[in-house]
C-alpha cells in the first residue's frame, strides 16, 4: 500500500519510526502545507508541498495519514478536510502494541500508539490521536480532531467532543462529557462536565480560561 504522510513534525517522526517497519505500507514521501515547507527531505524521504500533490501522487492508488499542525486543532482538522477534498482516502494507524477490542467502531485518519487500551463498545470518529499508555473505559465516544496525551485515564461512558485536547497524565471520571474544544491541562482530574471552548486545570479541574474566538492554541 502506497502511503503519503502529511506532516514533518515530531508526530510524523514518531509514527514513521514505527510504520516504516510494517511491510503493509510503502511510505512514498511526506507532504506539508505550503506555509510550513522548509526542507526538501525528511526522515530520508522527499517532502512535497500540499498544493498540487494530487498531480504527483494519484489519489486512486495512494493513501494518506495526516499528522500536521498539532499546535492548533482547528487548523489541523481543516488541513485534513482539504486533503480529503483532493480525493485521497485515509488509513488508521493502530500500533501492534495497542489493545483494541474487536467491536470498536472507528472512522479514518486516527493514530493509536502502543500501550493504549480501548475497552469494549467504543466509538472513534476521524482525525484523532491517542498517545501511549492511555486507558479508555467501555462505552466511550470520541468525536473528531481530539488529541489525548500519554498516560491518561478516561473512565467508562465518557464522551470527548470535537477538537478537544487532554493533557498528559489527566483523569476523567465515569460518565463525563468533555465538551467541544475543551483544553484540559496536564495531570488534571475532571469530575464534572466541561463547558465548550474552555480551559481546565487542577485536581479537581476548574475552568481557568476561554478560547472561543481563537480555538485551542498550544
Q: Are residues 110 and 85 in the same domain?
A: no
Q: Write the CA distances from 120 to 53, 99, 100, 143, 217, integer angstroms.
A: 39, 11, 8, 17, 32
Q: Are residues 84 and 103 in the same domain?
A: no
Q: Are residues 125 and 70 in the same domain?
A: no
Q: Are residues 102 and 158 in the same domain?
A: yes
Q: Are residues 98 and 193 in the same domain?
A: yes
Which CATH number does the domain housing residue 26 bear?
Answer: 3.40.50.20
Q: Is residue 65 part of a domain?
A: yes
Q: Write the CA distances from 87 to 3, 12, 58, 62, 150, integer angstroms.
A: 14, 21, 9, 10, 32
| pLDDT at residue 90 in the model | 98
| pLDDT at residue 123 in the model | 98
Task: Give me the mean pLDDT over the 198-205 stretch.
Answer: 98
Q: Are residues 160 and 70 in the same domain?
A: no
| pLDDT at residue 68 in the model | 87
22 — pLDDT class (breaks 50, 70, 90): confident
Q: Are residues 110 and 198 in the same domain?
A: yes
Task: Give me the mean pLDDT over the 112-117 stretch.
Answer: 97
Which CATH number does the domain housing residue 119 bear?
Answer: 2.160.10.10
113 — pLDDT class (breaks 50, 70, 90): very high
Q: Are residues 202 and 98 in the same domain?
A: yes
| pLDDT at residue 217 in the model | 97
Domain of residue 42 covers 2-91
pLDDT digits (tens, 9 = 90+) for 24-42: 899 999 999 999 999 999 9
Q: Are residues 178 and 196 in the same domain?
A: yes
Percent of the chain at pLDDT above 90?
A: 96
Q: Are residues 111 and 197 in the same domain?
A: yes
69 — pLDDT class (breaks 50, 70, 90): confident
Q: Are residues 43 and 108 in the same domain?
A: no
Q: Pick from 91, 110, 142: which residue ends a domain?
A: 91
Higher pLDDT, 70 or 186: 186
Quote the number of domains for the chain.
Answer: 2
Mean pLDDT rounded to a whole number for the chain = 97
pTM of the model: 0.97
Amino acid at each position: 500500500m502506497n502511503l503519503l504522510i502529511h506532516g514533518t513534525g515530531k508526530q510524523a517522526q514518531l509514527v514513521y519510526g514505527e510504520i516504516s517497519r510494517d511491510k503493509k505500507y510503502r511510505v512514498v514521501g511526506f507532504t506539508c502545507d505550503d506555509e510550513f515547507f522548509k526542507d526538501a527531505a525528511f526522515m530520508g524521504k522527499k517532502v512535497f508541498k500540499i498544493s498540487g500533490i494530487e498531480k504527483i501522487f494519484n489519489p486512486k492508488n495512494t493513501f494518506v495519514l495526516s499528522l500536521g499542525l498539532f499546535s492548533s486543532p482547528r487548523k489541523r482538522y481543516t488541513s485534513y478536510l482539504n486533503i480529503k477534498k483532493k480525493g485521497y482516502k485515509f488509513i488508521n494507524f493502530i500500533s501492534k502494541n495497542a489493545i483494541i477490542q474487536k467491536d470498536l467502531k472507528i472512522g479514518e485518519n486516527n493514530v493509536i500508539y502502543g500501550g493504549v487500551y480501548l475497552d469494549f463498545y467504543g466509538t472513534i470518529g476521524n482525525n484523532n490521536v491517542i498517545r501511549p499508555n492511555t486507558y479508555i473505559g467501555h462505552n466511550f465516544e470520541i468525536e473528531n480532531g481530539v488529541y489525548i496525551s500519554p498516560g491518561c485515564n478516561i473512565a467508562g461512558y465518557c464522551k470527548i467532543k470535537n477538537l478537544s485536547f487532554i493533557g498528559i497524565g489527566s483523569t476523567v471520571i465515569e460518565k463525563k462529557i468533555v465538551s467541544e474544544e475543551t483544553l484540559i491541562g496536564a495531570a488534571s482530574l475532571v469530575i464534572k462536565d466541561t463547558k465548550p471552548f474552555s480551559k481546565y486545570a487542577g485536581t479537581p479541574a476548574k475552568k481557568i480560561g476561554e478560547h472561543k474566538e481563537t480555538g485551542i492554541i498550544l
